[in-house]
Amino acid sequence: MPSLNLTMYKARYLLLLLLSTAISTTSFSQNSDTQNSDTKLDSGEVVFEAREIEVNQQEGIIIAEGDVLFDQGQYKLTADKVIYNQLTDVGNAYGNVVVITRDGVVSKADELQLDESFSHIVASPLLTELADGSRFTALSGERTEGVKAIYKNGQFSPCICDYEAGETPIWDLRSSQIYHDYKTNTIRHENVRMHVLGLPIIFMPWIAHPDPSVDRRSGLFMPAFKFSEDLGTVVKTPVFVVVNETSDVEFIPNMTTNRGNVLETRYRKLWDKTDLDASIYTGDVSTFEKNREFVAAADVKMKSEIRNNWKVNLNFKRSSQDTFLRRYDLNNDTVPKSEFSGSKTTNNSFYNVEFSEVQNLTDTSANKNSPRILPSITFEQTSKGFIKDQELTTKMHANHISNDLGHDISRWNIQQTAVTSHETDLGIIDSEIGYLGSFYQINKRDDGFTKTGDVARANLHASVGWRQYYNYVINEKSLIIEPKIKLTFIEGDDKNNDIPNRDSADFRIDSANMFLTNRFQGYDYVLPGARADIGLSAFANSELLGSLHGFAGVSRRHSGDVPSGLTTGTDTDLSDYVATISAEKDNLYAFSWSGRLNSTSSNLDESRTKLSTKLQDARFTMAHTQLTQNYFTSADSDLEEASISISQRLKNGVNLRASQNWDLSDSDVNRDKSSFIVSWSNGLQDCLTISLRYDRDPEIDRDIKTTETYQLLLNFKYLGGVPYDSN
């Protein structure tokens, strides 16, 4: 019986059964542990289907035609016709051949040959799609599962488009040979031409890049080019080195034709509970002092968690000169701060230790403002008070600050406050009593006063407050009104002329600090006296306007002085009137306004307005700020500015963002900072990201001129970016 011809709709497994009885061992699995087809049939690991199957027992040839399906777990093959030679272990597939591997790689061909237990494929032509949609096409090619793939006269593109419908990729690489090494996950192109929109733009002898399965890889990034009137041509050629699984280093040379060269070295390291990110900048560039000057800077950040839940943070910033950092867009800080701190938080306590130094890079005078804190220690603990429902808070603080605008001061503070809250039928009664003890060693000062040496100060404070909630239902909507009154008394030493004010130099009354016992930030400034604070809050919900909130308040002084040097108001008794209004509805809009009305002149000294609204996929934000000369004691004139920003999300991942600031001071309208960005966030065909940006900054200093910057950035998937920048 030379041959057996079977006709069926789906002859599942029957072929395997025939082979097991008529032919000796035949394996259809490249990694099978068994040599018996019957065992494969029982385990369900192999599926063979076809409309017609012909078995030649003498020659060991199997011919399957019509909707052929072969699935053995590692991969699945479909074709119009398959001829398998059991003696040579070679299979040939014809017509609409598709091979899909378990990891999502799809290979298509008109004709395809499989050998080595079907793990080796030779096809002409060959089309392969990787799991992320990247696509290889070639006149001919071969692929060995888990080893390599070679494409002759091939084309590669990571662009996602409908090839079957005739759509072409935005860009592709065309090479005489493409080599895909599965063991190292590397794709190498030889004699390569890069085509964008079908036009050749770059010719290279070879280029290599990791395949989509690689998260990071040592190598040379695609060079980035920038052109500007100030710097000339700028070329960046980043080199990335993977040290091990938890650390890497990147070298980024910034080479210019006009201003010199800068090398940025970035090192990253991750331990169990520690994260290090360090950048070092060195170069020989033009500065405001010299045509060429050696410059260096460091920016080191480290976060760690050590024993007993202590969190440690290191932030070290230092530079020999500031303008090279800003000119190369490396860092915009002109007063970098270095600090080392450790903190611990428990259920009822807080600990913090900090060492810091500020480097003033712009001040060229002899007395530089570079404050140094060595150290600052804070301890805070909350416990039960002396009576029922009382809470006792203890704060201790010590620090030493030097070179702070001509001041050198050591300070020790201890503060204890007992707070009690009682709910009665008439409302909620809050009471507070405590003390603040301070001791200063003033070694040096430069604030118009001459007293130095030791200064001690002690203050007692007590307050009592009343508040009540009134809830009204109007048209099934809730309206909550909360009136609040607080009487505060502070007794003790007034030594504000003896103690330099270094932590409360700027003060204005607002809704946040009106009801604080000591309104002034920090410990340096304490104003004894008695006052009464009155405020009214309202909360409501509206179907039309959404959530609404409003507040209005005022403070009246009964004894004590006007805050010397912190306000220019002439009323010795009444503070400014403070008010805030806000409204928000879902994601439709958000509105807020806050202001201060001068109690003497009834002028609006401060006004801040912001409106944000969303219309379909567009969001508009408008802001206006107005501050009178009274806002700062040293202000030369009133300040007024306005801004508007727009963001719009279009189809296909296109985003538009624009912002404009205006300086409205002195009744003039002057255009300030401007910015416009249009970008394709998801990229065209998910393989090319394009952004066009315009920035205008009228600010100037000793070395940086007013600039208008145009930047075009092209980022090719897997290949890096090519930016264009012109002033």
For residue range 213-265, list pLDDT tens digits in order: 777 767 767 666 777 667 777 788 888 888 888 898 999 898 888 888 999 99
Cα–Cα nearest to 97, from 133, 61, 69, 62: 69
For residue range 280-334, list pLDDT tens digits in order: 999 998 877 778 889 999 999 999 998 888 999 999 999 888 778 877 778 877 7
Q: How far apart are CA 7 and CA 199, in angstroms?
A: 52
Per-residue confidence (pLDDT) for residue 31, from 0 to 100 = 31
Q: How far apart are CA 243 and CA 252, in angstroms?
A: 16
Q: How far apart are CA 708 and CA 254, in angstroms?
A: 21
For residue range 526-560, list pLDDT tens digits in order: 999 999 999 999 999 888 888 999 999 999 998 88
Residue 62 and residue 86 in contact, taking contact as beta carbons nearer than 8 Å: yes
Beta bridge partners of 707: 697
Q: How far apart are CA 563 and CA 19, in angstroms?
A: 101
Cα–Cα nearest to 290, from 335, 251, 320, 246: 320
Q: Are strands 232-236 and 470-474 parallel, antiparallel or unpaired?
A: unpaired
Beta bridge partners of 251: 239, 265
Beta bridge partners of 381: 349, 394
Which residues constitute the domain of residue 52?
1-118
- Is 16 part of a structural domain of the chain? yes
Model confidence at 704, in pLDDT bands (50, 70, 90)? low
Model confidence at 662, in pLDDT bands (50, 70, 90)? very high
Domain CATH number, residue 7: 2.60.450
Q: Is the pLDDT of residue 399 over 90?
A: yes
- Is 17 part of a structural domain of the chain? yes
- Is 488 part of a structural domain of the chain? no
Cα–Cα nearest to 359, from 369, 367, 349, 350: 369
Residue at token pair 């002028």: 603
- Is 113 part of a structural domain of the chain? yes
Per-residue confidence (pLDDT) for residue 567, from 0 to 100 = 66
Residue 379 and residue 396 in contact, taking contact as beta carbons nearer than 8 Å: yes
Please state, in angstroms and as integers, the Cα–Cα distance from residue 444 to each residue in 397, 454, 495, 553, 713, following that order.
21, 11, 17, 40, 53
Q: State CA 98 to chain mean position distance.
A: 42
Spell out the residues 6+ positions from residue 633 whose beta carbon is closer than 8 angstroms to its own.
565, 566, 567, 568
Residue 77 and residue 99 in contact, taking contact as beta carbons nearer than 8 Å: yes
Structural element, H or E, at residue 20:
helix 14-22
This prediction has a pTM of: 0.69
More confident residue, 74 or 347: 347
More confident residue, 373 or 600: 373
Q: Is the pLDDT of residue 595 over 80?
A: yes
- Is 62 part of a structural domain of the chain? yes
DSSP single-letter state for residue 560: S
Q: Locate 361 and state its tokens.
A: 């890079």
Query: How would DSSP label each residue in 444-497?
Result: E--SS----EEEEEEEEEEEEEEE--EEEEETTEEEEEEEEEEEEEEEE---TT
Q: Rounded to 5 degrees, what are φ and ψ at 309?
A: 65, 25
More confident residue, 47 or 378: 378
- Is 321 part of a structural domain of the chain? no
Please state, in angstroms and as integers, the Cα–Cα distance from residue 80 to each residue in 5, 97, 98, 155, 480, following that order.
17, 7, 10, 26, 76
Per-residue confidence (pLDDT) for residue 35, from 0 to 100 = 31
More confident residue, 706 or 389: 389
- Is 671 part of a structural domain of the chain? no
Spell out the residues 6+ positions from residue 399 whose beta carbon is closer than 8 angstroms to its own.
373, 375, 376, 377, 410, 411
- Is 369 part of a structural domain of the chain? no
Domain count, the chain: 1
Mean pLDDT of the region 400-408: 89
